[in-house]
Structure 1
Amino acid sequence: MSELTSALRIRTAGPDDLDAVLAFWKTSAEGTSISDDRDGVARLVARDPGALILAGRDGELVGTVIAGFDGWRCHLYRLAVHPDHRRQGVATALLAAAENRFAALGGRRADAMVLQRNETAHHAWGAAGYAPEERWRRWVKPLTG
């Protein structure tokens, strides 16, 4: 294990982390979501306190992943690593924490939301053992205006 990886602190987010997470996503995450606001993240943390996983180094937020489990499927969202901390094991540590969470909850397979245009993410997800599922297409309908 490298010194950089061993210095990581993986933990779940709490209500006091919401503003830092939202600010982090603006600089480190690709794309935006309808739920990228304080109310949306607060609902996530309140409903499923173990779902939002954070990686920190020296007191600085350097990565996030949402590991949501609905009792049926395991879903990964918002895997984001600060640009200055990429290729240092942060995503690997976050995904390991997410996959351990899923296994403990009885999950059988994880899926990830990955933007089609984000080639860098495709390489990272592939290196972690994930592959596109070409038989399915995501269909969405906004529930708010």
Structure 2
Amino acid sequence: MGEGFRVSDIRQFRWSDYDRVVEVWRQSGADVLSRAELEAKLVRDPELFLVAAAGEDIAGVVLGTYDGRRGWIFRLGVHPGHRRRGVATRLIAELEVRFRALGCPRINLLVRPDNEAGLRFWQSLGYLTYPDVLCSKPVS
């Protein structure tokens, strides 16, 4: 991984990024979305799927979505070779700008209860914990 990360390198995902994004997700421990899942997601709000490019490398990635009522942040990942350089913070800042431009009044995200570092990161950006209970049901 290169050293050339710059704030101006945060941009919308391109399909040519896919393999490098998958590698970032794998290296960071995030679940990988298949091409089919991404194709379905990108029909709605492609401008909310961001990458942090460092030259030819992808340093980080975040997937956002907006349902017209709430914004959601999914799959934030930073390649281990680019951690502790503000990549995640910059990705989230740009995503928040894009949510505001859409008129989004609130942003939600999920953090696993055992992810203490992740929780500290989100709290440092002003995200508050709520005592909600996540319920989920597969539809297939």
Instruction: Give the TM-score normalised by the residue count of structure 2.
Output: 0.87
CA contact (8 A) 1:8 1:57 kept: no
- Superposition map of 1:89-104 within 5 A: 89-104=86-101
Q: Tell me the equivalent position of 1:137.
A: 133
> TM-score w.r.t. structure 1 length?
0.85
Alignment partner, residue 78 of structure 1: 75
Mapped to 2, the partners of 1:49 and 1:79 lie a distance apart of 16
Spell out, residue by residue over 1:80-130, the C-alpha distance to the aligned partner (whole angstroms, 9 max, x if none): 111121121101110111100110000111111212221221111111111
Shift, 1:5, TM fit = 5.9
> Where do 5+ consecutive residues of structure 2 fail to align?
none
In the alignment of these two chains, the number of paired residues is 138
What 5-or-longer segments of structure 1 have no aligned partner?
A: none
Distance 1:108 1:7 in 2: 25
Q: Which residue of 2 aligns with 1:61?
A: 58
Q: Is the 8 A contact 2:50 2:63 kept in 1?
A: yes
Out of 24, 48, 53, the position equivalent to 1:51 is 48
2 CA distance for matches of 1:4 and 1:123? 27
Q: 1:56 to 1:5 in 2, by over 3 A?
A: closer
Instruction: In structure 2, give the amino acid aligned to 1:139.
Output: C
For residues 35-65 of structure 1, give each alpha carbon's deviation from its aligned partner in whole angstroms, at most 9, with x where no partner exists.
Answer: x222112222233211211111122101111
Which residue of structure 2 aligns with residue 27 of structure 1? 27
Residue 34 of structure 2 is matched in structure 1 by 37
What secondary structure is seen at the aligned counterpart in 2 of 1:39?
helix
Once residues 29 and 131 of structure 1 are traced to their aligned partners in structure 2, the CA distance between those partners, rounded to angstroms, is: 23
Match of 2:103 in 1: 106
Where in structure 1 do 4 or more consecutive aligned residues deviate above 6 Å?
A: none
1:1-57 CA distance string (max 9 Å, x none): xx9663651001122222322232111134x37xx2221122222332112111111
Matched AA of 2:135? W
